[in-house]
């Protein structure tokens, strides 16, 4: 069993060292070959699969969160290096650092974080990377702003941009704002990717947790044309009789 290793507090002297190297060092201390092997299979890293070529160290998300919190003062340059790294946990830790920064930043700094996120979006290229960052960074930023970028991303040829588009709306859902989730769900209803079907179904389910009538109204309009996985995910919390109605299309 690998446990999180305590490290000494940062001092003014070692703050001068590139934090990127310190982050990498802490991550490597937590590497677990057995977990890495399991994760490589779970995140589909085989030839032709969506995560092809991705390298894992085998580190849990809670441990990466602790590292991200410790190094949240890392520079944008260091975060950019992490996002471009070939190791999955480096990318995720970089994104978690951005989440930490975003939560504690003023509006002007948040704009810089968004620009960094969007400029490096090609590195947000697996479902966990999307799901642990999109609503907390992009979605949170767009709460009171024009959201047309999400519709553009929903029409992207890139799988991960489409998933970012729908998952970002989770930030709106948490504020009981559902219109953008429903509009983007409509765009993605005929998507060919299972990972999009799951994400849309998940967001519709989250809408239903807060306003079941709104979800049912959407489903009655679209359920006959929805992929089965999307539909199953969206009605997961429904009664058996409700499930039977919607699945019998």
DSSP string of 39-82, one letter each residue:
HHHHTT-STTSTTTT-B-----HHHHHHHHHHTTT--HHHHHHH
| 82 burial type by CB count under 10 A (0-12 exposed, 13-18 middle, 19+ buried) | buried
Structural domain ending residue among the three candidates 125, 144, 159: 125
In a domain, 9, yes or no: no
DSSP assignment of 139-150, as one string? IHHHTTS--HHH
Q: pTM for the whole thing?
A: 0.91
Please give the helix or strand (H or E) that residue 15 lies within, else none: helix 12-15
pLDDT at 4: 46
pLDDT at 12: 46
Q: Are residues 138 and 240 both part of a single domain?
A: yes
If one counts the domains in the chain, the total is: 2
C-beta separation of 168 from 139 below 8 A: yes
Q: Reduced to 3 states, what is the DSSP secondary structure of residue 87? A: strand
Q: Reduced to 3 states, what is the DSSP secondary structure of residue 95? A: helix
Q: Are residues 47 and 108 both part of a single domain?
A: yes
Q: Are residues 115 and 194 both part of a single domain?
A: no
Count of CB atoms situated within 10 Å of the CB of 72: 17
pLDDT at 11: 52
Residue found under tokens 């060919």 = 192
CATH number of the domain enclosing 50:
1.25.10.90
In a domain, 198, yes or no: yes
Q: Are residues 115 and 151 both part of a single domain?
A: no
Q: Reduced to 3 states, what is the DSSP secondary structure of residue 235? A: coil
Of 74, 69, 89, 84, the C-alpha closest to 17 is 74
Q: Which domain holds residue 52?
A: 14-125
In a domain, 111, yes or no: yes
Q: Are residues 179 and 81 both part of a single domain?
A: no
For the chain, which residues score pLDDT lower than 50? 1-5, 8, 12-13, 16
Structure tokens of 171? 């930030």
Structure tokens of 244? 């039977």
Of 107, 114, 112, the C-alpha closest to 147 is 114
C-beta separation of 199 from 229 below 8 A: no
Structural domain ending residue among the three candidates 125, 158, 187: 125
Structure tokens of 213? 């009538």
Q: Are residues 44 and 117 both part of a single domain?
A: yes
pLDDT at 18: 80
Q: Are residues 218 and 120 both part of a single domain?
A: no
Structural domain ending residue among the three candidates 81, 108, 125: 125
Q: Give 154-174 pLDDT, tens digit per residue.
A: 999 999 999 999 999 999 999
- Taking the alpha carbons at both ends of the chain, their separation in whole angstroms is 48
In a domain, 8, yes or no: no
Q: Are residues 174 and 103 both part of a single domain?
A: no
């Amino acid at each position: 069993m690998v446990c999180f290793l305590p490290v000494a507090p940062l001092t003014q002297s070692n703050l001068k060292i590139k934090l990127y190297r310190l982050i990498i060092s802490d991550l490597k201390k937590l590497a677990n070959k057995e977990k890495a092997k399991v994760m490589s299979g779970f995140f589909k890293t085989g030839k032709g699969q969506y995560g092809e070529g991705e390298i894992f160290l085998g580190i849990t998300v809670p441990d990466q969160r602790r590292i991200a919190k410790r190094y949240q003062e890392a520079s944008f340059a260091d975060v950019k290096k992490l996002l471009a790294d070939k190791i999955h946990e480096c990318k995720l830790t970089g994104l978690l650092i951005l989440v930490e920064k975003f939560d504690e930043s003023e509006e002007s700094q948040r704009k810089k974080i968004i620009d960094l996120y969007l400029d490096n979006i090609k590195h947000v290229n697996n479902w966990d990377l999307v799901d642990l960052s999109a609503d907390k960074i992009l979605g949170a930023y767009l709460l009171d702003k024009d959201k047309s970028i999400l519709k553009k991303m929903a029409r992207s040829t890139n799988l991960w941009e489409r998933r970012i588009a729908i998952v970002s709306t989770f930030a709106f859902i948490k504020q009981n704002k559902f219109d953008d989730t429903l509009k983007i769900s409509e765009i993605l209803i005929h998507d060919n990717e299972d990972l999009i079907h799951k994400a849309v179904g998940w967001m519709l389910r989250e809408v239903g947790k807060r306003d079941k009538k709104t979800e049912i109204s959407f489903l009655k309009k679209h359920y006959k044309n929805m992929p089965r996985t999307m539909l199953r995910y969206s009605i997961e919390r429904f009664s058996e009789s409700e499930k039977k109605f919607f699945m019998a299309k």
